[in-house]
Amino acid sequence: MKPKNSIYFRGIDSLRAIGALSVLLGHLELSKSSLQIPNLMHLPFYKNTSGHLGVLLFFVISGFLITFLLLKEKQEFGKVDVLRFYYRRILRIWPIYFLALVLLFFVMPFVVPMDYYAKPDWSDPISLIPTLIIYFFIVPNFVSFGITGLGGGFHLGTIGTEEQFYLFWPWMIRKFSNLTLPLIWIIVGVTILPHGCDYLRLHYFNNDPKFSKILEQTANFFMYFKINSMAIGGILAWYYMNKNKVVTAILYAKWIQIIALLLGFGGWIVGFHLPIFNDEFYSLVFGIILFNLATNPNSIFHLEIGILKYLGKISYGIYVYHWLVIYLVLGVIFPLAQSTISFNLIYYTLTISITLLVAHFSYHRIELRFLNLKQRVTYIQSQQSPHE
């Protein structure tokens, strides 16, 4: 089978850039907080949203694009080639993920003089074995079950979530002719499950410490296992692919677009936070914004901005490497921490510029080599930054 013409969705690369930069900004302040350096974590933007919403935006985008491309492959060729799908995922995700792990485990502890949160302790290598296992088997989100995390690598748990999502996603698309019900079950199930575990723990098993702990860990795991956000992107891709006129008409309405923008980006900036189902709320709003940007020819807003499109292209590198750069920079300038203005000026300038340079170099010198291999086994080409 030969690849068909490529597909391009407007604005998606720019959305990726916004997501990556928000994560970077959030972690710049979070790292200061963990080292007890004066920080901005008390402000609503950082306290209630910070980079976490950038991660949700990534999940919605991935769910939309992956689902659409698999549905398109099924439509064009009559099936989904699951093995090739996994091969493409490996070529896209694994190279710099494992490079970052090598650096975080075996280089950073010896080149960064200061102590930092969950810094690998090679004076006791036996204690690192569980951590090594979950990270190198791409299940870093299993830290929720009491396994020690990796300093500078906690954000890689989201990559684990995506990889676990991919274990069943292509099979589901291959099997079901209508994705509406399966996707709704995923959205509802993963949304309710952590709250259900907390309810059971507090009302039925509060006198059973062992099982109560299991429920608490399970709730924590599913609280961050955001395949429901990916499913929201997926169900929008399903509706678009099948030209659902009712859904499209509702989501294309100008008043819906205005509300989505105000709640999504406006709520993000001011730190608006719901006490329950906050992540699902933002995922839905981001999905509406994405749906209009990518598919609506009469969208009231556009994000086809050159610099954002390029940053979106290298956003995977920005996301993977930024904690390494943060700790490297902090290791050098930490003695200046008490001089707030000069410290922050140097800290922000160096960290952001070096992160972008590293991501640029990584994309052109490392990732493109694997992406070129990936294109050889791709049936439906995507012109987005080639995450999919």
Phi, psi of 7 (to 5 degrees): -120, 140
Q: How many CB atoms lie within 10 A of CB 90?
A: 15
Residue 384, classed as helix, strand or coil, is: coil
Residue 3: what pLDDT?
47
Q: Is the confidence at residue 250, as pLDDT, over 90?
A: yes
Residue 122: what pLDDT?
96
59-114 residue pLDDT tens: 999 999 999 999 999 999 999 999 999 999 999 999 999 999 999 999 999 999 99
Q: Is the confidence at residue 1, as pLDDT, over 50?
A: no
102-159 residue pLDDT tens: 999 999 999 999 999 999 999 999 999 999 999 999 999 999 999 999 999 999 999 9
Report pTM.
Answer: 0.94
Residue 382: what pLDDT?
62
Dist CA 312 CA 310 (whole Å): 5
Please name the residues in contact with 193: beta carbons below 8 A apart, sequence gap of 6 or more.
218, 219, 222
Residue 353: what pLDDT?
98
Mean pLDDT score of the chain: 93
Which pLDDT band holds residue 251 (cuts at 50, 70, 90)?
Answer: very high
Q: Comparing 285 with 338, which gets the higher pLDDT?
A: 285
Question: What is the arithmetic mean of pLDDT over 357-378?
Answer: 93
Locate 346 and state its tokens: 């140097």
In this structure, what DSSP letter does residue 4 have?
E
Dist CA 386 CA 388 (whole Å): 5
Locate 103 and state its tokens: 């650096």
Residue 2: what pLDDT?
46
Question: What is the arithmetic mean of pLDDT over 285-312?
Answer: 95
